[in-house]
Amino acid sequence: MNEQIVSHDLKKLIRKLSKIGIAISREKNIDSILEMILNESIDITNSDGGTLYVVKEFEGKKYLVITFAKNFSVNFDFAGYRIPVDENSIAGFVAKNAIPVTINNVQNLQKTQFSQFRLFDDSLNYVTVNTMAIPMIDYQGNVIGVLQLVNKKKNKEIKLSSENIKQNILEYTKEDEEIILSLASQASLLIERIHLYQRIEKNIANTRYALISLFNSMKQVIANLSEDILIEQEEFKKFATLDALTGLFTRNEGMVYLEKQIQLSKMNESHFVVCFIDVDGLKSVNDTFGHQTGDDLLKNFCQILKESIRSYDIAFRFGGDEFVLVLSKATVKEANTVLSRIQEKIEKFNSSEAKPYKISISYGFAEYSPELDLTSEDLIKLADEKMYRMKRDKKSSPS
């Protein structure tokens, strides 16, 4: 029975985290994202309250500024209050060192670290028993804010007082910390992406006055999820790891990208195509002419791939002679056009280059549609099966 309860609670938590993740990703206003992440973090952990600090600079020194705060037991109105980014407070320590901190007995803190709570507690006639502080970190590894929660309660409906607080407090767990760290990371990355959009919008406005009406607000820009996909892809390409031989993305990076493409296509209700490609006869080339020649074949083929796909498509090396294309905003019909372009370039290469080999490929498609609940593994498997069907047909047909 206990296992069933735990399983049920876990499923509820997973569903809730999924809904929060989608809600955050759809929100385009930074203040709304910050307030949402604070409220949801308080709710998930049964905390009595919380504070969201944003890192700002004043006269060349960094501070944490209270942007949003909430407490169920007292009125908490410290918006705009700031504390230095240093090790004299828990939030300052977290911002300076970019690591989460959980303390289940605040009263045992050193005097300097406790001063943050003493100020708030004395002015509010409140008692902070435990706390969890989580850094919000952007793409470059910079801390942009700190999310701090206080007093995890046994029952979220309880209003804490000095008389009942000790018997109504639970300890924050490692699981609490990991969940809130995950939510803070999602919010941080989205905020950074919005900042990126703001920089792009400014450059476009300066050079293309005719598009001001289209880009007159970040809400309009972000609402266009097709543009959002392009930015996601450019950010991914900037930081992704490349395969040393071919210059394409590695399998791990490619699969991460494919998962992101599924997520974005669900939001945008768009189609895309996975193409699984196998280079025919590579083993024979390796056995006959040596692995260096086989490597040369793969390099030339991958160069053809790079020249043939669109800027917002990607190609990655799945295995030794296996490659995957992710063709964004495409159907199988459009994917066939891309593959026809690749085949034409292959034929041109084979006829013009004096190589001891001829490039030949077999391939198969799998089209993703938002109505179909397909995983990245499902798409790879479907495309792989169709590729093998083409390979079998080649072998069975007369040469």
The DSSP-derived string for 1-33 is: -HHHHHHHHHHHHHHHHHHHHHHHHH---HHHH
- Residues 309-363: tens digit of each pLDDT: 988 888 999 999 999 999 988 999 999 999 999 999 999 999 998 899 999 999 9
- Specify the pLDDT at position 279: 95
- Residues 23-82: tens digit of each pLDDT: 656 666 778 878 888 888 888 889 999 998 989 988 889 999 998 889 899 887 788 888
CA 308 – CA 373 distance, rounded (Å): 29
Angle made by CA atoms 17, 71, 32, in degrees to the nearest 5: 50
- Specify the pLDDT at position 11: 58
- Residues 163-177: tens digit of each pLDDT: 888 899 999 989 888
Q: Are residues 185 and 277 in the same domain?
A: no
The pTM of this model reads 0.47
CATH of the domain at 320: 3.30.70.270
On average, the pLDDT of the chain sits at 81
Among 2-11, 143-152, 162-171, 194-203, whose mean pLDDT is lowest? 2-11
- Cβ proximity of 192 and 138 under 8 Å: yes
Q: Are residues 229 and 186 in the same domain?
A: no
At 193, list the tokens: 């992406």
CA 32 – CA 37 distance, rounded (Å): 9
- Specify the pLDDT at position 33: 78
> Looking at the domain assignment, is residue 98 inside a domain?
yes
Q: Are residues 235 and 173 in the same domain?
A: no
Q: Are residues 260 and 387 in the same domain?
A: yes
Angle made by CA atoms 238, 244, 246, in degrees to the nearest 5: 90
- Specify the pLDDT at position 292: 95
Q: Are residues 158 and 243 in the same domain?
A: no
Distances, alpha carbon 182 to alpha carbons 128, 175, 187, 196, 271, in Å: 24, 11, 9, 21, 28
Per-residue pLDDT band for 219 (boundaries 50, 70, 90) equals very low
Distances, alpha carbon 321 to alpha carbons 252, 258, 295, 388, 394, in Å: 16, 19, 10, 13, 17
- Specify the pLDDT at position 295: 94
**Of 193, 217, 250, at which residue does a domain stop?**
193
Per-residue pLDDT band for 3 (boundaries 50, 70, 90) equals very low
Q: Is 281 left (phi over 0), alpha (psi -120 to 50) or beta?
A: left
- Specify the pLDDT at position 311: 80
The dihedral sign for the CA sequence 332, 333, 338, 341: positive
Q: Are residues 307 and 386 in the same domain?
A: yes
Higher pLDDT among residues 137 and 237, named by residue = 137
> Looking at the domain assignment, is residue 5 inside a domain?
no
At 110, list the tokens: 């050193």
For tokens 């109505």, name the residue. Answer: 371
Among 26-35, 193-202, 369-378, whose mean pLDDT is lowest? 193-202
Share of the chain above pLDDT 90, in %: 34
Could you give the count of Cα atoms lying within 13 Å of 301 in the half-sphere of its Cβ?
Answer: 29
Q: Are residues 123 and 234 in the same domain?
A: no
CA 227 – CA 339 distance, rounded (Å): 24
Is residue 332 exposed (0-12), middle (13-18) or buried (19+ Cβ within 10 Å)? middle
- Specify the pLDDT at position 348: 94
> Looking at the domain assignment, is residue 47 inside a domain?
yes
Per-residue pLDDT band for 188 (boundaries 50, 70, 90) equals confident
CATH of the domain at 125: 3.30.450.40
Q: Are residues 157 and 238 in the same domain?
A: no
Share of the chain above pLDDT 70, in %: 79
> Looking at the domain assignment, is residue 207 inside a domain?
no
Q: Across-strand partners of 173?
A: none
- Specify the pLDDT at position 227: 55
Q: Are residues 68 and 150 in the same domain?
A: yes
Mean pLDDT of 179-188: 80
**Of 149, 173, 193, at which residue does a domain stop?**
193
The domain containing residue 334 runs over which residues?
225-396
Q: Are residues 361 and 231 in the same domain?
A: yes
Mean pLDDT of 254-268: 85
Q: Across-strand partners of 43?
A: none
- Specify the pLDDT at position 197: 61
User: Looking at the 3D structure of the chain, how many domains does it have?
Assistant: 2
- Specify the pLDDT at position 300: 94
Q: Are residues 233 and 180 in the same domain?
A: no
- Specify the pLDDT at position 275: 96
Nearest to 180 by CA among 228, 133, 243, 126: 133
Mean pLDDT of 272-287: 94
> Looking at the domain assignment, is residue 79 inside a domain?
yes
**Of 150, 177, 193, at which residue does a domain stop?**
193
Per-residue pLDDT band for 236 (boundaries 50, 70, 90) equals low
- Cβ proximity of 133 and 100 under 8 Å: yes
> Looking at the domain assignment, is residue 105 inside a domain?
yes
Q: Are residues 55 and 145 in the same domain?
A: yes
For tokens 């809600």, name the residue. Answer: 23
> Looking at the domain assignment, is residue 390 inside a domain?
yes
> Looking at the domain assignment, is residue 219 inside a domain?
no
